[in-house]
Copies of this chain bind each other. A is one copy, B any other.
Amino acid sequence: MNPRVAAIEPSLIRAIAAKKKPGMIDLGLGEPTLLPQQRFIDAAARWAAEHGVKYTVNAGDLGLRERIAAHYAYPGMSDARNAVVTTGSQEAVYVAIKTLLDPAKDELLIADPSFPAYAKMAQLEGVAFRHVHMRADEGFRYDAEAILDAVDRATRAIVVASPANPTGRVLHDAEARRLAEGLLARAGPPVWVLQDEIYRELTYVDDPGYVAKYYPHTVVANSLSKSNALTGMRIGWLLAPDGAAEALNKTHSYLTSTASAFGQRVAHEIFGEPGALTEQSAWYRRQLVDVTAALDESGLDYVPVDGAFYACVKLPRSTDSLAAALELVENRGVVAIPGRIFGDSLEGWLRLSWVAPIDELAEGLRRISAL
């Protein structure tokens, strides 16, 4: 067997989730509680009745790729040929890491706190990786200078998630621009930026930054999972400049051949109806008002929520987030994710999902305050 597979440690998120019992307050969820917009699923079912559900080309249905690329309209990647439709953003990120980096010599730099899958994917590919930590005393805001300072000669790609899971922080426009300028000013071969935009439609600040606007060596990953409550539809995509897009599609074509044609049709409908991609954002904005009130009332330190549907809270006394999460799930009826899963910089914190009913969140916060 492949020793790299054996070396991957089991997911701690899943280990905590497995301890959940009925009736508990679940602040561990990584997906929306809303239902998807059924009209798009029904439209895809009608389309299937007429056309069947056949292979698309590897990169995905041409009409869908045109709509995706035109919608985001990033410079140098606004054509259908710049889009590759994938099995969720998970495959998108995996394909990017596998394609952009040479395991023999390249290194991936991960802006932390970060979703643990990035590092595990690199590990599975034998790609070296390093973390650059955003500062707790700055609320884990993205700091372009800190990222640039961490780039070294082996670094060939940087992964930045914005809005971020777990912190909910957003890379601001000025920081995206600064990151691009800094990378453009470097000598030597270009360093790719992989921006994971899966929470893009759940952004609550006015100046979100998109590196692809300023930097030609950017690859963007995104999906319908969070924006449209379609985690299980498994439709994601990569946007990339010419050349890179072809290479990414080649890797994708051997991993999964194509994304679901049914799911692609759902996406085609969504991208064809103005506003459909952001229709559910209003619910999150309303929820955030109550979430912020509950966080303030809890007296806990928390990270400002710029986007996504998470809030990170600091443990009031302990710094051992795993012990705290186990105490919560085993004795206090609350599922919460220990910060250490997302890197050393988030040790002492918990990640709470706030898609749960607000009363449950408030009660969960009270129990955490009492730890």
Interface residues in chain A, defined as those with a beta carbon under 8 Å from any beta carbon in chain B: 1-3, 5-6, 8, 10-11, 30-31, 34-36, 38, 41-42, 44-45, 48-49, 52-56, 87-88, 90-91, 94, 98-104, 117, 120-121, 124, 229-234, 244, 247, 250-251, 253-264
Assembled-state Cα–Cα distance A233/B1 (Å): 30
The A interface, classified by DSSP as helix, strand, loop or mixed, is helix
Contacts of A6 in B (CB 8 A): 247
Rounded to whole Å, the gap between the CB of A357 and the closest CB of chain B is 16
B52 close to A102 (CB less than 8 A): no
What are the 8 tightest A-B residue pairs by CB atom distance, in nearest-first order?
Answer: A232-B261, A90-B257, A53-B232, A45-B45, A87-B256, A234-B260, A260-B260, A35-B52
Contacts of A90 in B (CB 8 A): 254-257
Which residue on chain B has the smallest CB distance to residue A121? B254
- Would you give the shortest CB distance from A29 to chain B, in whole angstroms? 10
- Complexed CA–CA distance, A251 and B256 (Å): 13
A31 touches which of B54, B103, B244 (Cβ 8 Å):
B54
**B41:A48 contact, CB within 8 angstroms:** yes
Contact A100 B234 (CB under 8 A): no
C-alpha spacing A90/B250, complex, angstroms = 13
Closest to A117 in B: B254
**CB-nearest residue of chain B to A97:** B2
Given the contacts A262-B232, A263-B262, A98 and B2 also touching, CB distance less than 8 Å: yes
From residue A40, how far is it (CB to closest CB) to chain B in Å? 10
When A94-B254, A124-B251, A263-B260 are in contact, do A55 and B232 touch as well, CB less than 8 Å?
Answer: yes
Residue in B34, B251, B260 whose beta carbon sits within 8 Å of that of A5 in the complex: B251
- Assess A231 versus B262: contact at CB under 8 Å? Given A41-B48, A42-B45: no
Known: A232-B56, A255-B90. A5 touches B98 (CB 8 A): yes
Nearest Cβ in chain B — how far from A231, in angstroms?
5
Residues of B within 8 A of A2 (CB): 98-103, 251
Which chain B residues border A42 with CB–CB below 8 Å? 45
- Beta-carbon contact of A3 and B260 below 8 Å: no
Partner of A52, one of B36, B44, B49, B120: B36
* Min CB gap A237→B, angstroms: 14
